[in-house]
Amino acid sequence: MSLPVKPLEQAIEVETLHMTMRFGAFTALDDVSIRITPGSFHALLGENGAGKSTLVKCMMGFYRATSGEMLVDRREALVPDPRAAHALGLGMVYQHFTLVPSLTAAENLVVSRDDAPRVIDWRRERAALAEFMARMPFSVPLDQPVRALSAGEKQKLEILKQLYLGRRFLILDEPTSVLTPDEADEVLGHVKALCEAGEITVMMITHKFREVTAYADAVSVLRWGKLVGSALVSDLSHADMARIMMGEAELPDPAPRTGMPGDAVLSLKGARASDRSGLKQIVIDALEVRAGEVVGVAGISGNGQMELMEVLTGQRPLGAGSIEVKGAPYGASREEARVKCVRYLPEEPLHNACAPRMSVTENINFRSFDLNGSGRRFWLSGREMRTRAAELVAGFKVRAASLDAPMASLSGGNVQRAVLARELTGEVDLLVISNPCFGLDFTAVAEIRARIMAARNGGAAVLLMSEDLDEIMELADRVLVMSEGRIAYEKPIADAQIAEIGHHMGGYSA
Amino acid sequence: MDSDIGLWAIPLAILGGAIRVSPPFLFVSLGEVLTERSGRINLGLEGTLVFGAMSGYALAYQTGSPWVGVLAAAVAGSLFGLVHGLLCSLPRVNDIAIGIAMMLLGMGLAFFFGKPYIQPVAPDLPAISFGWWSELQQVQAALRVNVLFLIGIAAAIGLWWMFRATRLGLIIRVVGDSSDAACAMGIRPSVVHTFATAAGGAFAGVGGAYLSLFYPGSWNEGISSGQGLMAVALVIFARWNPIACLWAALIFGGAGALGPALQSAGISQGYYLFYAAPYVLTLGVLIATSSPTRAVTGAPGELSITK
């Protein structure tokens, strides 16, 4: 009987030497040398586009570095493709789950093995898996389809999979971006313990300073493809890390809050809707957003925020209850949204707020192409549309090849900005936004948050759904937590505590 | 002996009809399950079915052996599947459009090459009588089961087992459910798609051979009444589960036998409306199980129609 799991061996050392990667004239990675000692927990910091993913893709064999080399256990290692990297004991946990949703955890583990048997003897495999799990510090239910697992369990399973495959050096790409603070602490704590036991070496890509300080031994910082700093975590403060990461760039200060909340603009009463699977319901008994306040909805994705957003944008029928805007029933038609000045930034704006193949100009004019002042127009005015688009593209710093480029050709951050440009222009009384800064770099984040704050100070009611707790703590006047399709927690921001919010996000009510 | 069993004749005729009519549905839908589980959809199976019927009949006539005909139909079907699979592996080629083109091509080629075989008589596939215990002619007729039907049941169970307990089956499911995960595992999705489509075509070809070599049992241009297309709907009905395909095929076969059964029982008024039963059933099932806000459960994640 061939043992499916290699016995745990020693952690390995990985070192890059003068690693350089050029794409045409663009240098994505410039002479980067990093040494990760065996059993250490190494953090890799950097803004978007700093070259973090290029570096790990070179290490994992997805790219072939233009020059430079990699040493594994002090021996030169050639990785022409990911298989070669796997054979050396290098493994990667991606930011997006690579588990197959309809397969069970056990099936996912077995099928990922290179030497998976042709005919799977499930009794034997199960015994072997149970034995493997017994040696691990954490476990996941093996017989459920991965679809049914929580984000934390999926992330644990991703890490277990790497260990099951006998990998000794793990690259974790923002492993906690979809986890609650509690789940993140649990997962990283276990990973840290495996490092300390000398079983694995870890390199983690992250942008959360808290996790770096709490779990990493050493940190390397990339900026514009260059290694700009490498140090022991114990020698650095958060401010030091931010300074190395940002260089000399100045961040706009968070906008000040002014004004007092006014009358309720949005109110939901007894709203019910079913989710995509039709099995679960979201139930919002009462939710009010008043003029001049930001209500932040925290929660792990998949707890009903998307459904709430879809109900508000009119993409999902309301099963029962009512939605009122400014005291009158609201059906989310384009006409009603225009008259009541309701604006949206849904999640995945390319699909939920744009026509991907239409041009940037056309997309930016979706709210206004048929308006002529306050009246209607039959013939569109191409010149007016172009002028408006050009102004907004410049004003919101949207980077597009041309105004005629299809929306789908823009990067995620630029789609986000283009939609915000459209939605935040003109009079806004109610703004419903979801993860407005997802995947944007520091400067863009600060800018977009300032615009949201400006809308609030201008008297708009803002409903902000975000998976980024820091964002909610910064912007919101009142914070709610959605869990299992319900509002599980509500507090003014002054009384809200991160730990308490985290517990409710995880579904425990203290 | 012909005894009068009254209204019992109707369920008996439906049962017999289900067993007699369902194999083409079963084979085509099993082929489609295999293809769709890998993440492609092949709408061309109607053409494959008709070409399989023609090539099976022709070879059976030429060699005198119906089994050679079945084999020829399977080979022809897998060739059609292979062409579909390879074409769809090219960048920006749509599997639905190619499927419709392959359907028309298959029927056109079958009519073209099939002209000389409309008159000759080819040997039939053997059937086993499971009705020997009864004296009633109706029972004996209903339980005359073709060997291909039994092979179809075995194939359904075999596919179910393959998806559950073999590496090949798991890999097909991985590719169908998440291309990203497949790529991360070092599997090339287009290779899996192509072979799954080819194997699916072979199933559809065998379904066609059943039409021309057993029931109705001759080759002509009107041999298929859309079984190849109905089978695609049937796969959705069966939620991509091979065992459920077997039941779905039997239900469709039974519904198809409703009209003749009523007619034989002497109910002649409007009986021809009952010939539409399978199609009404398809519409009914699809409407009943559809929803504007819910995703279809059990659908492979990469399938273009359910994405």
* Per-residue pLDDT reduced to its tens digit, A240-268: 877 777 666 555 556 678 888 889 999 99
CB nearest B165 (choices: A101, A119, A276) = A119
More reliable by pLDDT, A224 or A106 = A106
Which of A174-178, A258-262, A488-492, B243-247 has the weakest average pLDDT? Answer: A174-178
Q: Does the structure show a pLDDT above 60 at A503?
A: yes
Q: What is the spatial distance between Cα A76 and Cα A18, in angstroms, rounded to a whole number? A: 13
Q: What is the spatial distance between Cα A504 and Cα A508, in angstroms, rounded to a whole number? A: 5
Residue A233 contacts residue A219 (beta carbons within 8 Å)? yes
pLDDT the model gives residue A250: 56
B187 touches chain A (CB under 8 A): no
pLDDT the model gives residue B292: 67
Question: Which residue do the tokens 């709610």 mark?
Answer: A480
Residues of B in Cβ contact (< 8 Å) with A278: 291, 293-294
A120 touches chain B (CB under 8 A): yes
Q: What is the spatial distance between Cα B92 and Cα B19, in angstroms, rounded to a whole number? A: 42
Q: What are the φ/ψ torsions at residue A164 (nearest 5 degrees)?
A: -60, -35
Which of A43-52, A309-318, A396-405, A489-498 has the weakest average pLDDT? Answer: A43-52
B305 touches chain A (CB under 8 A): no
Q: What is the spatial distance between Cα B201 and Cα B48, in angstroms, rounded to a whole number? A: 7
Chain B residue at shortest CA distance from A315: B293
pLDDT the model gives residue B3: 55
Question: Which residue do the tokens 């050029």 mark?
Answer: A22
pLDDT the model gives residue B1: 42
What value does the mean pLDDT take over residues A155-177?
89
Q: What is the spatial distance between Cα A482 and Cα A91, in angstroms, rounded to a whole number? A: 34
Burial class (CB in 10 A: 0-12, 13-18, 19+), A400: buried
Q: Does the structure show a pLDDT above 70 at A2?
A: no
Residue B194 contacts residue B28 (beta carbons within 8 Å)? no
How is domain A14-246 classified at the architecture level of CATH?
3-Layer(aba) Sandwich (3.40)
Q: Residue B240 corresponds to which amino acid?
A: W
CB nearest B294 (choices: A99, A120, A278) = A278
pLDDT the model gives residue B257: 82
pLDDT the model gives residue A299: 82
Taking every pair of C-alpha atoms in chain A, what is the biggest distance, in angstroms? 79
CB nearest A103 (choices: B174, B295, B298) = B174
B3 touches chain A (CB under 8 A): no
Specify whether the backbone of A476 is left (phi greater than 0), alpha (psi in -120 to 50) or beta.
Answer: beta
Q: What are the φ/ψ torsions at residue A180 (nearest 5 degrees)?
A: -75, 160
Q: What tens digit of pLDDT does each residue of A423-463 get?
A: 988 889 999 999 888 767 667 788 888 889 989 998 999 99
Burial class (CB in 10 A: 0-12, 13-18, 19+), A101: middle
ipTM: 0.83
pLDDT the model gives residue B265: 74
A100 touches chain B (CB under 8 A): yes
How far A507 CA sits from the closest chain B CA (Å)? 25
How far A34 CA sits from the closest chain B CA (Å)? 25
Q: What tens digit of pLDDT does each residue of A125-135 get?
A: 999 999 999 88
What value does the mean pLDDT take over residues A190-195?
90
Q: Where are the domains of chain A?
A: 14-246, 291-317+330-505
Token pair belonging to B124: 């039939």
Ranges of chain B whose pLDDT falls below 70: 1-4, 292-297, 305-307
Taking one residue from A and the other from B, the number of pairs with CB-CB distance under 8 angstroms is 66
Token pair belonging to A176: 């906690």
| Identical topology for domains A14-246 and A291-317+330-505 | yes
Q: What is the mean pLDDT of chain A?
A: 86
Q: In CATH, which superfamily holds the domain spanning A291-317+330-505? A: P-loop containing nucleotide triphosphate hydrolases (3.40.50.300)
What value does the mean pLDDT take over residues A114-143?
88
Q: Does the structure show a pLDDT above 80 at A12?
A: yes
pLDDT the model gives residue A7: 43
Q: What is the spatial distance between Cα A134 and Cα B169, in angstroms, rounded to a whole number? A: 28
A94 touches chain B (CB under 8 A): yes
pLDDT the model gives residue A216: 93
pLDDT the model gives residue B194: 96
Q: Does the structure show a pLDDT above 70 at A102?
A: yes
Residues of A in Cβ contact (< 8 Å) with B294: 274, 276-278
Residue A128 contacts residue A5 (beta carbons within 8 Å)? yes
| Closest C-alpha to A239, from A215, A204, A213, A270 | A213
Taking the CA atoms of chain A, what radius of gyration do you get in angstroms? 25
| Closest C-alpha to B79, from B57, B53, B106, B104 | B106
> What single string gives the DSSP state of each residue in B60-81?
HHHHS-HHHHHHHHHHHHHHHH
Residues of A in Cβ contact (< 8 Å) with B290: none
Q: What tens digit of pLDDT does each residue of A293-324 get?
A: 999 998 877 788 888 999 999 888 888 899 99
Residues of B in Cβ contact (< 8 Å) with A96: 180
* pTM metric for this prediction: 0.77
Question: Which residue do the tokens 């007699």 mark?
Answer: B20
Chain B from 78 to 97: CB within 8 A of any A CB: none
Per-residue confidence band for A152, with pLDDT thresholds at 50, 70 and 90? confident
Q: What tens digit of pLDDT does each residue of A218-234 get?
A: 999 988 888 988 889 88
A262 touches chain B (CB under 8 A): no
Q: Does the structure show a pLDDT above 60 at A509?
A: no
Q: What is the spatial distance between Cα A453 and Cα A474, in angstroms, rounded to a whole number? A: 10
Considering Cα of B32, then B36, then B38, then B44, what sign does the dihedral take? positive
Q: What is the spatial distance between Cα A119 and Cα B157, in angstroms, rounded to a whole number? A: 15
Q: What is the spatial distance between Cα A113 and Cα B271, in angstroms, rounded to a whole number? A: 58
CB nearest B293 (choices: A96, A102, A317) = A317
